Structure 1
Amino acid sequence: MQWENLLSLKRQGDTNKRLRKEEKETRLGFEVDYDRIIFSSSFRSLQDKTQVIPLSKTDFVHTRLTHSMEVSVVGRSLGRMVGKKLLEKHPYLRQVHGYQLNDFGAIVAAAALAHDIGNPPFGHSGEKAIGSYFKFGKGTEYKPLLTDKEYRDLTDFEGNANGFKILTESREGVRGGLRLSYATLGAFTKYPKASLPHRPSRHIADKKFGFFQSESVFFSEVAEELGLLSRGSEEDIAYVRHPLAFLVEAADDICYTIIDFEDGINLGLIDEEYALEYLIKLVKDRINTVKYGQLGTTEDRISYLRALAINTLIEESSRVFVANEEAILKGEFDTSLLDKCQYKAQINDIISLSVEKIYRSEEVIEKEIAGYAIVERLLEVFCAAAIRKFGEEETHYDCLVLQLIPEKYKYGFTSPYRCLLGISCFVASLTDGRVVGIYNKINGGQIT
């Protein structure tokens, strides 16, 4: 893969080539990507979506919105740090094409800002609830109406694929969704493959999938423009990652490892004594012992260690990327950057403690169970109504419930697959609070 292709400024629908050296320095194309994401309604909805604790009533626990903004900040630093090294190694990128180190930071920052934009309510349990409905619940009755690939899109419903759909889907009067640059779309897509064939391998790009069948043609266009190496066939679409996707992933990994841990401490789920021990192991060579000794509160001590830990992992991720750049460009690098870093053991210790004390806490489990019931009930009602409407057999009740769905989701009801995927994406778009509200309306009662 070649960097001059990977940094493409092309947008969906372009007829003329966009050149970096012709860009206005006051408003670069990659910075426009960031602006379009942050002003989108899908991004705003992340303010009421779970990061750690569903329906949390505290004022300091992270939501998907604050998490995404922090990942973007970390991603910007990573991109700039790596960009500086790449421009030194490949001076033609600056001299011939006009790229600057901030371009790398802007691409990663925009992709990182959008990385959770397709996630359903109630965190990953909401994602699993959608898949479970079609795989084990009443949604199995729709299998005969779908191809194998279409059915897998639903049974393994994926927030990353939904995110790509949100960013790129055309509808009446709106061509190409947010019309982001192909470089940002490439960096956004951590899993550049379709839902089938399933590849049970250790390759990082095979862990999940990155686009639905409804976006497969356009994704191939993006991949070809960027020069991504193919790992599939004409029938089975799969590519190697865009190199900057490794930086987006690292930014996300750094933030949820360290900041979710910090949330657990502030919630009282993890004792300060344990927390300090685990964080100090990660940053012991960087601590200013005099400054640290003057910090009088748990919050200040944890905040200081958190900042050191994030900076340490940013520098280490950058080092690993630059050291492996050649393998990454050849598509031969098959793991995350943090899995190759010298702090892997410390990171794994922190994650293990977070799983035990935070993600499996009683409060989280109870609300995730409720989330399953809520999501599956909404899918049951809306999917049945959408399919009957497609078959022109809808009841008066169907007409009523479908009025709760915005027109942009009903616009594509042109096949059973698009009906069911549209409903799934609508449910995924709902905030934690909104999904509970609709559930209450459907059931004529209240849930707390």
Structure 2
Amino acid sequence: MEWNTLLSAKRMRGGFYTAKKSADLRSEFEKDYHRIIGSASFRRLQDKTQVFPLDKSDFIRTRLTHSLEVSSFAKSLGQNIGQKLLTGNMDPGFTQQMKEDICHILQCAGLIHDIGNPPFGHFGELAIREWFEGNLKRLRFYGEPVEDILEPQMKADFYHFEGNAQALRLVTKLHYLVDENGMNLTCALLDTIVKYPVPSTGIDKSTGNIKDKKMGYYYAEREIYEEISRETGTGFCRHPLTYILEAADDLAYSTADIEDAFVKGYITYNMLVEELEKLGESCRCPGFDALEKIQVYYRRGQEKGIWNPESYAVKNWVVRLQAVLINCATDGFISNYDRIMKGEYDRNLFQGTYGEPLMKLLGEMAYKKVFCSNDIYKMEIAEGVILDFLMEKLVSAILYYDTDKKPTSMDTRVVSFISDNYVNAYRHQAKGKSEAEKLYLRLLLVTDYVCGMTDSYAKRLYQELRGIV
């Protein structure tokens, strides 16, 4: 892979330049940034769960604040890595302008990496996936099982439903404003957000290759992804910037989950110290001893007379740890540069670095102390009830939409709730398609609508449809 093609500024809809537009000095990737932050889908992230749904605290992170943090970390990593490529003369074709471009691309990618996620965080993805697993087999279309009508990849799309694939669909098709090209973002940016460059039928966790763990695009977007991949020259391999985006995401949620869990009382200072003590030498790297550093911050908090030295220690330690992990991810990219550029690297950037055991510790603590807690389980059960009800109502109503079968008055009302943007996108995509593909696109229309919901809207719509005042 070569950077001059990897950083393709081509868009699905070609641009044109007038004399007036020539005064715009922004690069195409800087223009992407403004397209994103002005979108309704990006704004909706402020009311979507990161970990704690519908939380009343101003401190706890949402998908919006998480995405801003990922954007910031990704840009910082881009600056570090770009500078090392330049000063180390590792790639004669890499230029200063390319360094600036990758920073802008990564900044944008961080903003939209979760833009396709449904309400209620990753549990929302699981609930939608499990709804299809439990219900697709029973659905009938003119008496014929829906499973028998859909092609293998169409069915697999629903059984392996993913927010990652939904993100690509959202930004390329569902922002039906000017035309069917959605936000019409650059190919380099679009390829960067495809973490898993395989279809739903290509998932194979047994390979051990990180790119094969999940799907990255739906059957509906296969041609778009093929065009993007051809344009950037990735050839169905991961784009090199995808590794950096993933590292920024892992860094952001791993450290943020610990900080949020501490504020909510799921994790204490002493718990964190105990876990670091168990790591022993593994928590030490040149210039940074994770255990010693958190204890230093605690003593400093005491010396300053701070009322809660534990909070002072944890929050300052997290900030320091983030800087260390940025360096680890930078080293991970640079040390594996040749394999990444050949499309052969199959792990994340923290593996094999000093940051690997620390990242593992943070992830395990968050999982055991937060995600497996009774409080979270109770919230997820309630969220599951909401999503199951909405999926049932919407799929039943949409099954015969756009067919010659007369809809019931109830179905007409349910379908009327769906955004005109999504309906217009469906109508455009369904033109000239077979009945099987139209049926598939109608089921996607349901997931499009549900994924566009905020936590509050999903809860409110459920209550209204159930007659709960």
User: TM (normalized to structure 2)?
Assistant: 0.86
Contact 1:279 1:306 in 2 (8 A): no
Of 56-65 and 69-78, deviating more is 56-65
Q: Does residue 349 of the first structure (1) align with residue 361 of the second (2)?
A: yes
**Quick one: distance in 1 between partners of 2:55 and 2:353?**
33
Give 3-state SS (helix, strand or coil) of 2:201's partner: coil
Distance 1:77 1:390, change over 3 A: same
**Quick one: distance in 1 between partners of 2:392 and 2:124?**
15
Distance 1:291 1:54, change over 3 A: closer
Distance 1:192 1:70, change over 3 A: same
Give 3-state SS (helix, strand or coil) of 1:53's partner: coil
Q: Does residue 67 of the first structure (1) align with residue 71 of the second (2)?
A: no
Q: Does residue 438 of the first structure (1) align with residue 461 of the second (2)?
A: yes
Q: Does residue 28 of the first structure (1) align with residue 41 of the second (2)?
A: no
Q: Does residue 263 of the first structure (1) align with residue 260 of the second (2)?
A: yes
User: Could you tell me which residue of structure 2 aligns to residue 104 of structure 1?
Assistant: 102
**Quick one: distance in 1 between partners of 2:401 and 2:273?**
57
Query: In the alignment, which of 417, 421, 424 is matched to residue 408 of structure 1?
Result: 421
Of 134-143 and 362-371, deviating more is 134-143
Contact 1:128 1:156 in 2 (8 A): no
Q: Does residue 328 of the first structure (1) align with residue 325 of the second (2)?
A: no
Contact 1:139 1:380 in 2 (8 A): no
Unaligned runs of 5+ in 2: 140-145, 278-282, 431-437
User: Could you tell me which residue of structure 2 aligns to residue 420 of structure 1?
Assistant: 443
User: Could you tell me which residue of structure 2 aligns to residue 144 of structure 1?
Assistant: 148
User: Could you tell me which residue of structure 2 aligns to residue 132 of structure 1?
Assistant: 130
User: Could you tell me which residue of structure 1 aligns to residue 14 of structure 2?
Assistant: 14
Contact 1:192 1:209 in 2 (8 A): yes
Contact 2:294 2:314 in 1 (8 A): no
Offset at 1:444? 1.3
Query: In the alignment, which of 364, 367, 370 is matched to residue 379 of structure 2?
Result: 367
Offset at 1:279? 6.5
Distance 1:70 1:24, change over 3 A: farther
Give 3-state SS (helix, strand or coil) of 2:464's partner: helix
Of 190-199 and 255-264, deviating more is 190-199
Of 33-42 and 337-346, deviating more is 337-346
Distance 1:358 1:27, change over 3 A: same
User: Could you tell me which residue of structure 1 aligns to residue 410 of structure 2?
Assistant: 397
User: TM (normalized to structure 1)?
Assistant: 0.90
Task: Look up the equivalent residue of 2:216 and give its one-letter code.
Answer: G
Give 3-state SS (helix, strand or coil) of 1:223's partner: helix
**Quick one: distance in 2 between partners of 1:329 and 1:431?**
38
Offset at 1:350? 1.8
User: Could you tell me which residue of structure 1 aligns to residue 433 of structure 2?
Assistant: none
Offset at 1:243? 0.3
Query: In the alignment, which of 194, 202, 205 is matched to residue 199 of structure 2?
Result: 194
Contact 1:134 1:140 in 2 (8 A): no
Distance 1:172 1:347, change over 3 A: closer
Contact 1:278 1:346 in 2 (8 A): no
Give 3-state SS (helix, strand or coil) of 2:65's partner: helix
**Quick one: distance in 2 between partners of 1:429 and 1:172?**
16
Contact 1:168 1:178 in 2 (8 A): yes
User: Could you tell me which residue of structure 2 aligns to residue 20 of structure 1?
Assistant: none
Q: Deviations over 1:117-164 (max 9, x none)?
A: 001111111111111111113664132331111111112111000000
Give 3-state SS (helix, strand or coil) of 2:182's partner: coil
**Quick one: distance in 1 between partners of 2:338 and 2:68?**
30
Distance 1:309 1:418, change over 3 A: same
Contact 1:279 1:309 in 2 (8 A): no
Q: Does residue 155 of the first structure (1) align with residue 172 of the second (2)?
A: no
User: Could you tell me which residue of structure 1 aligns to residue 271 of structure 2?
Assistant: 274
**Quick one: distance in 1 between partners of 2:136 and 2:153?**
19
Offset at 1:351? 1.2
Give 3-state SS (helix, strand or coil) of 1:209's partner: coil
Contact 2:297 2:313 in 1 (8 A): no
Offset at 1:86? 2.2
Q: Deviations over 1:275-304 (max 9, x none)?
A: 245579464279498776332333322221
Offset at 1:57? 1.8
Offset at 1:361? 1.4
Distance 1:445 1:145, change over 3 A: farther
**Quick one: distance in 1 between partners of 2:319 and 2:409?**
56
Distance 1:139 1:369, change over 3 A: farther
Offset at 1:30? 1.3
**Quick one: distance in 1 between partners of 2:7 and 2:423?**
35
* RMSD between aligned residues: 2.3
Contact 1:276 1:302 in 2 (8 A): no
Q: Does residue 174 of the first structure (1) align with residue 171 of the second (2)?
A: no
Give 3-state SS (helix, strand or coil) of 1:178's partner: coil
Q: Deviations over 1:66-101 (max 9, x none)?
A: 00100110000001111112234234432xxx6242
Q: Deviations over 1:428-447 (max 9, x none)?
A: 1111110011111221125x
**Quick one: distance in 2 between partners of 1:206 and 1:365?**
29
Of 200-209 and 100-109, deviating more is 100-109
